[in-house]
Amino acid sequence: MRHDGRLPNALRPCTIEPNYLHHAFASVLIQMGRTRVLCSVSLEAKPPQWLTAGGWVTAEYSMLPGSTQTRVRRDPGGRGKEIQRLIGRCLRASVDLSRLVGPEGGFSLVCDCDVLDADGGTRTASITGASVALALAFRRLRAERGLAVDPLRGLATAVSVGLVDVGGELVPALDLDYVEDSRAEVDLNVARIGGLGLAEVQGTAEGRPFSREDLQRLLDLADLGISALQSVQAQALEAAR
C-alpha cells in the first residue's frame, strides 16, 4: 500500500470540468488528486507567418505563485518552457494540422495550462486537460467559424509512472504525487494519442539505472492509467454537449 492508501496500479481521483471559464474560446479544469490545472484555448488572429498551409496549435505552461508551499515566480523559466514544449508537441501529434482551416484560411490556437495547485503530475494533467479543451475548441470552430472537418486524430492523454519504495520494495506505481515523485528511483511520463500509439515518453533514472524489463512494466502500467483517463475525457466531452 502506498503512503496515501492507493494500490500501485491506482490513479488518484480525476475530474475534468468543461467550460470552466466564461470568456475563453474553450476551457476545462482538470483535477488529479490535489493537482489542479486550468486549461484554456484562445483563438489567434492568424497562424504564424512561416506556416504556408493548414493551421497551428501551440501551448504555454505556468505555475501560479500560490500553487506550491513557497511562492513561484510568474516567469516559467527553463523547466516551464521545456514542459510547454512537451505539451505543444503532444497536442500537435493529436491533430491533423492540414485540416485546421476555415473559409478564410488556417486557424491558430494557443492552449494555456495554468497550474492552480501542484502535487505532482502537472505536465501530464496539462496534456490530458488541454486535449479536452482543444476538442471543445474544434467543436466551436465547426459550429461558428466554418471548420469543415474535425482535425482531431485522437485525444492526447498522459500519465506519470515510476519505481517507488512501497514497504521497503521498489515497485512500479501509477500517477505519482509529489511525495512519490520527489523520491522515485525512476520517473517516467507517458503520452498517448487515442488508440494510435505513443506521442512521447520521458524517463529518468534518479538513482540506479533501470532495465528494459522495468521500462516495459512501467509502459504497461501507463497504458492502464491512460485507458482509465480516456474514459474521464470522454465523459467530460459528453457532459459538454
pLDDT above 90: residue 124: yes
Q: In the predicted model, what is the mean pLDDT of residues 100-107? A: 92
Torsion of CA 178, 114, 24, 19, to 10 degrees: 10
Confidence at 74, pLDDT banded by 50, 70, 90: confident
Strand (E) or helix (H) holding 90: helix 77-93
Residue (of 230, 7, 218) closest to 127 by Cα position: 230
What amino acid occupies position 78? Answer: G
Give the whole-number percent of the chain exceeding pLDDT 70: 100
What pLDDT score was predicted for residue 28? Answer: 98
Partners of 162 in the beta sheet? Answer: 173, 187
Query: CATH fold of 14-154+224-239, please?
Result: Ribosomal Protein S5; domain 2 (3.30.230)
Domain boundaries, given as residue ranges, for the chain = 14-154+224-239
**Cα separations in angstroms, 157 against 14, 65, 166, 195, 206:** 13, 26, 26, 10, 24
Beta-strand pair 56-63/108-117: parallel
Three-state DSSP at 6 gives coil
The rounded distance, in Å, linking the Cα atoms of 136 and 197 is 22
pLDDT above 90: residue 112: yes
**Cα separations in angstroms, 7 against 1, 58, 173, 181:** 5, 36, 8, 16
- Whether the CB-CB separation of 87 and 126 falls below 8 Å is answered with yes
- Whether the CB-CB separation of 51 and 106 falls below 8 Å is answered with yes
Beta strands in the chain, from DSSP E residues, in sequence order: 14-18, 26-32, 35-44, 56-63, 101-102, 105-106, 108-117, 156-166, 169-174, 186-193, 197-205
Of 5-14, 45-54, 70-79, 201-210, the poorest mean pLDDT is in 70-79
Residue (of 225, 239, 238) closest to 14 by Cα position: 225
Q: What is the pTM of this model?
A: 0.95
What pLDDT score was predicted for residue 132? Answer: 98
